[in-house]
Structure 1
């Protein structure tokens, strides 16, 4: 057992102090982001919105995320990642607290848009900071550490969120989310001020290539949008499926979603460390992760047994554990061709765009065709993403042969 623990902790060796601080800040922030998994339930139960209205709120969520990500990339390249992160985190905290006081459909849509616009300027800035504070050989593991922090936060968040709903109502979620964002800001200011933090890989490109002319990156971009649409069903349509088909309570839904973060916390770093040693291509591993996520939608359609939901979560989680770090590492590697903020904002934007279409498509499919058919459609869409990644592998091989 001691050897097992020692081998586990060895997978974290070599990461910089700044990356560890970024991980802690991310954990504090994400532990408070317990509103998101319960947002569709909150809008349905507390605000009495219809499924059609909720789908448009979630589209506003995605539109704000796209705008914020794009703006965040531009600001990161112009004023620097530190200023963007500080201003985004603090403002997001204030906006989340205020969000709970809106009641009209139009007001909620507009507010969600602005909350996500401000919140998601943080994401490209954080990825650039992580790249700057990581040695080149540690970038994939640095991504994995940040994801561990995110998922540990998400593991605690939904579980605690379910308890808060049961005791304090939905309003308590907004207060906790807002306060934790503000606390994360204070920690960021104290430990990651550029005057104190030392860059390890600050890439300067004299004649940067525009991300808009990078054709292989755009194939990757479309494939990751598809992956995002499929993956995000677990945070919009899936909680409703758990409630309506399997009659789970908010606490049970929170615990089930929390398993995702717990599995990632326990298994992702050793898994990534092992996969890196196999020397497989980043795109090939991303493809495998998407395939496993697709299988998660197949298995839950095989039986009405509630226990199958745990198996579905496990397939999705392993797929996520593989696809996200290696796709992110590919984007950071590709970013060395141009401006890092621009490239990484486009990578982050794939999931923002998925928020626009994924929740809306999923909820409307459920409303019109039912859950079983929706899961089969997600399975088919996943295979389109797999084919695009296979095409991308061919493009990259041809690119290497020409260089």
Structure 2
């Protein structure tokens, strides 16, 4: 039985290009040092006695920087190619993260985090363009999943190690480790993902100046915004919830967040591979993921018990595992081949805005309404996204039927 499961798991990784693997490893190195943002709210409230409102604005500068970085990174990926943009997005944030640990003044912190987020987001549209060029229709979702897998494996390791570093060293060590891993990821790209290998495969297409995005693509951007808004609570309100309601230590909080990354690492690729082989419509899978997200917040709204915490993080992780890969593939397939970088820049802008608004509004809601009503708000948002996807799916089915009769 175990051997069969292992064989199935390994087979889900077969057929992916060498470049996809190299890019994913670089992304893992980059994300393995992600320690600053997950603990930023605790760092500012416990060490510098920042109010939740101030913390919300500091974290919002992270999201705002991401908006600008996504747009600029997408445009530059079309104009300069995605290789140099990947390098900028990997290396330069590390140069700013190390000195960020010595900033304590509110406006300086906001500025520093804004710059770091802007530079880091350069890599997002560039990475999606790279994935599109290094995959085909049959393995594109799995290629996206491998990239996501490397990200979440890194994100599970980062907070886990970060919790121990806080306990046994200081918060400032997080900034140093985070910065070093960013620089190392860029070095890995230079060594193993050479420029000539990439540019040889990148099809040169001259984009049309007046090319507009489709209505369906815009619809996916809205769904992406809502899902990102909900997901970012894992790094914004949930750590505070675990600390203030359950009185968990930083180590336990790091372990819980680490469970999220571990579950995605174990289940995402096999689940995606299984669902692809079953031929289930991507829109249907997306709707089911929204149901799982909603169920995770229902458990958080229950009376305080560790069982609900564990159950919630499991459902939350499964929702991510099947929701985001298929959403990303839908977006990639719907984007224009002539302006792939620009379109994926718009897509990552919707992600960045989701982070920006989610970080700020999530903390503001907790401050003014409390945790229970905040979770209800998340559920309402997810219901809206579900209805939105369902309506768009019905429109696509009607169009398909009309074409069939013509």
Q: Secondary structure at the match of 1:248?
A: coil
Q: Is 1:72 the equivalent of 2:59? A: no
Q: Secondary structure at the match of 1:304?
A: coil
Residues 197, 74 of structure 1: alpha-carbon distance in 2 compared, 3 angstrom cutoff? closer
Separation (CA, whole Å) in 1 of partners of 2:117 and 2:370? 29
Separation (CA, whole Å) in 2 of partners of 1:222 and 1:38? 28
Give the CA deviation at 1:58: 1.6
Specify the alignment match of 1:166 in structure 2.
Answer: 167
Specify the alignment match of 1:328 in structure 2.
Answer: 328
Structure 2 contact 27–151 (Cα < 8 Å) conserved: yes
Specify the alignment match of 1:307 in structure 2.
Answer: 307
Give the CA deviation at 1:208: 8.2
Specify the alignment match of 2:239 in structure 1.
Answer: 239
Specify the alignment match of 1:249 in structure 2.
Answer: 249
Structure 2 contact 282–330 (Cα < 8 Å) conserved: yes
Q: Secondary structure at the match of 1:148?
A: helix
Separation (CA, whole Å) in 2 of partners of 1:55 and 1:351? 18
Give the CA deviation at 1:2: 2.3
Structure 2 contact 216–334 (Cα < 8 Å) conserved: no
TM-score, with normalisation over the residues of structure 2?
Answer: 0.95
Q: Secondary structure at the match of 1:196?
A: helix
Residues 294, 84 of structure 1: alpha-carbon distance in 2 compared, 3 angstrom cutoff? same
* Correspondence 1:52-91 to 2 at 5 A: 52-91=53-92
Give the CA deviation at 1:401: 5.2
Structure 1 contact 216–395 (Cα < 8 Å) conserved: no
Q: Is 1:130 the equivalent of 2:131? A: yes
Specify the alignment match of 2:265 in structure 1.
Answer: 265
Separation (CA, whole Å) in 2 of partners of 1:12 and 1:33? 25
Separation (CA, whole Å) in 2 of partners of 1:205 and 1:392? 31
Give the CA deviation at 1:203: 7.8
Structure 2 contact 133–201 (Cα < 8 Å) conserved: yes
Give the CA deviation at 1:44: 1.3
Deviation track 1:274-311 (CA, whole Å, cap 9, x = no partner) reads 11112122222112112211110001212211221110
TM-score, with normalisation over the residues of structure 1?
Answer: 0.96
Structure 2 contact 217–335 (Cα < 8 Å) conserved: no
Q: Which runs of 5+ in 2 are unaligned?
A: none
Structure 2 contact 88–122 (Cα < 8 Å) conserved: no
Give the CA deviation at 1:394: 2.5
Structure 1 range deviating more: 125-134 or 333-342: 333-342
Residues 311, 164 of structure 1: alpha-carbon distance in 2 compared, 3 angstrom cutoff? same
Specify the alignment match of 1:97 in structure 2.
Answer: 98
Give the CA deviation at 1:199: 5.8
Q: Secondary structure at the match of 2:306?
A: coil
Specify the alignment match of 2:22 in structure 1.
Answer: 21
Give the CA deviation at 1:211: 4.3
Residues 402, 39 of structure 1: alpha-carbon distance in 2 compared, 3 angstrom cutoff? farther
Q: Which runs of 5+ in 1 are unaligned?
A: none
Structure 1 range deviating more: 375-384 or 217-226: 217-226
Separation (CA, whole Å) in 2 of partners of 1:366 and 1:88? 32
Give the CA deviation at 1:202: 4.0
Specify the alignment match of 2:282 in structure 1.
Answer: 282
Separation (CA, whole Å) in 1 of partners of 2:96 and 2:84? 18
Structure 1 contact 220–392 (Cα < 8 Å) conserved: no
Residues 351, 99 of structure 1: alpha-carbon distance in 2 compared, 3 angstrom cutoff? same
Specify the alignment match of 1:339 in structure 2.
Answer: 339
Residues 199, 44 of structure 1: alpha-carbon distance in 2 compared, 3 angstrom cutoff? farther
Separation (CA, whole Å) in 2 of partners of 1:162 and 1:398? 51
RMSD: 1.8
Separation (CA, whole Å) in 2 of partners of 1:206 and 1:228? 29
Q: Is 1:188 the equivalent of 2:189? A: yes
